[in-house]
Structure 1
Amino acid sequence: MTNRRHFLSKTAAAFAGVQILPRSVFGANEKLSIAFVGAGGKGWHAVQSLQNNDSVNFAAFADVHESRATEARKANPSVPFVSDFRKMLDQHGKHIDGIIISTPDHTHHFTAKTCMQAGKPVYLEKPLTHSIAEARDLMALEQQTKLACQMGNQGHSGGGILVLEEWVKAGVLGNVNEAHCWAGPIWSYPDARPAEEPVPAGLDWNQWLGPAAMVPYSSKYLPAQWRGWFEFGNGTLGDWACHNMDAPYHVWGLDCPSRVEIESSGPSKLSFPARVKITYTFPASATRGEFKLHWYHGADHALKRPPELDAARTFPEGGTLIHGSKATVLMGTHAGTPRVIPEAKMQELSTSLPKVNLKRSNHWDNWLLAIKGQEICRSNFAYGGRLTETMHFGNIALHVNRSLTIDPVTRSIIGDEEATALMHGPAARQGWKV
């Protein structure tokens, strides 16, 4: 154990030379010491997901909202707790093998980059970042450091993507040139700043804001409502696109769109429109023709129930619908439960569908094994960053309230200075630039 800890501390110090840790560093059965930045909400879900994992020890918890971390701390009373993750790195860094980050979107880049610069592999909740420039920065840092980094779109390690991929390879769907993705929960608020309220005890509001501009505290921002405010979250699209666009984006090898067309209930400078239809057009590649990816949320632009779906079956609140020339496939959220519709067609094809081996590590274990050098992160930043970029192009179009033309080679918006500026996001508050 001492030799491995010494190796890790030397690696962190020599940041520019960080590499994926070889198998010889970690024994096959040796436990990894994992720390958590954010231990309430999604962080508590992460703690629960690994609570009984035999390959994990909990090294430390960090959360700026002490009361939100109560359940995690009660379940693990011996695990050190601090409010500032930077103090966690200072005090416990030599004992930390990897860090799970479950914080609001606007702090993702600052937190992940700081941890990566300390030589720590990170599991970062989706969407990867709060801006395109931040995503590209983390993608470059991952490539430079060779650290095991995973974006938390858990469905990417589920069986749904494997099944869809094999069905497409076998020609079950026939020719496919578009997919429809949608979500039910709406994160949208009036275009007005909420009234100031007293900061509750146990919340470090300055640290919660992090790199964002200083605004007075309001209960309209947290614990979860931050998703619908432009300076903190990415709205409904940011909350769900990395889950429900994931399957077609991966299976058809999509990258940077060339066109983003929008219909919406109108712009909001502080929040996001409640009713949206977005059409992403991806240029043809060597393996497929031009592909359109449609996104919907809100009543005015809700995707209609497909006529192929049997009356007795529920149309999911969020998911993915793929029409092929030979068959139509419906999936739930997180690339889940692909099914040919109608059911009669599924039964007709059942004997000829390819057999799919679904035995593989889940999203958490995939990251843990990648830290040990035994697997590669499936939704690494090289992939998760591109998916996050695509989401951001849609939100930028919604924010400026017009469609965008994009050069997919340079990955830049053409002829729109306002939209181009939004690719970079707001400047970090003084003292929070990393």
Structure 2
Amino acid sequence: MSDFREPDLPRTMKQRAGKALRAGWTTGSCASAAAKAAALALATGDPQQEVEIALPGKDGSWAERVRFAVDRCEVVSPPGRAEAVVVKDAGDDPDVTHGARLTATVSWREDPGIELDGGVGVGVVTKPGLGLEVGGPAINPVPRAMIARAVGEAVDLEARGVRVVISVPEGELMARKTTNRRLGIIGGISILGTTGIVRPFSTAAWRASVEQAVSVLAAQAAEENRRGDATLVLCTGGRTEKGAMALLPHLPEVSFVEVGDFTGAALRRCVEHGVREVVFVGMIGKLTKLAAGVLMTHYTRSAVDTDVLADLTTRAFPENPSLAADVRLANTARHVFELWDTAGALPACANALCEQVARVLERFAQVECAGALRARVALVDFTGTVLVGSSAQWAEGGARHG
């Protein structure tokens, strides 16, 4: 019996035959639009019917701008307060927050600047490991920056101060269909998003794009007479892809492909096309799932197993026996990362994790794909840009550490 797992996506997450999937907007984008509408209404006294906000780009710019319809906007009693609602459209993504009424209440405050808080239906963080303040609202860093920028386009925050409260009616009910409670986010949903856009999952479309990327890479190698020694770099997303390109500047752009959660399918394509080496660059959550033999890592079909990380901690950092016990009880993979870092165990444990993932990828190719390939693995931090650990073969491939 195979010790690998590739759980299928839910039926609703697969592409509808013959139709392109429609992208939607994150809760972060909708909250930003609602906040700008309310801020404009507060500053001008005029309710807003639509607003335009900026989306964050991969290069740190805010060049792309999009318009949102405002479902409701009014200056409310008592004076000095305005409220606006933007209804979330998740496109064709099966998102539990589709249709959510992202509500922003904006009021004046004495000090210049912006104060951001969560209201009804926005979760409260109760456990470490999420990169957010315990006791604060579950509004992630990129949405916070988007909200501040959007409000700053309506009000001069250097001269005046506003308090922005984001709420989501029925948010607590929506959160029951998410992993929030298990992660220690209580009372509602999280305000999420790193790009502002929800790109729906499409297994068929993804497979086509990966197959094309591998085919192009293999063809390029053949033209250069490299006879199968091309390297494909598998990245879980935009941040890790950007980091991988910085770490491996000698590789052509065609070598890098975002595989999302479908590592197993990507490895099959590599074997089929004669690719002999893969590099996997990811963050601790995805690497932990791979280390456990889970090759399809979408959050709806697999969870981080802290037992795997605890056992690895015992082997890699035996001088602190209590650390493994703390890791086993950790709330998230990010929490484990923080525990390792605090204990001075991060380099040793990160390297051991990468080594275990490399062995899993190589064995998967051999057992499940009837092929042989070499795997090099790197763990990057949560910005995607800093190399934290790597497998033993990493430096052999000319990777740049730092």
TM range (shorter): under 0.3
Structure scoring higher RCO (CA < 8 A, sep ≥ 6) equals 1
TM-score, normalised to structure 1, is 0.23
TM-score, normalised to structure 2, is 0.25
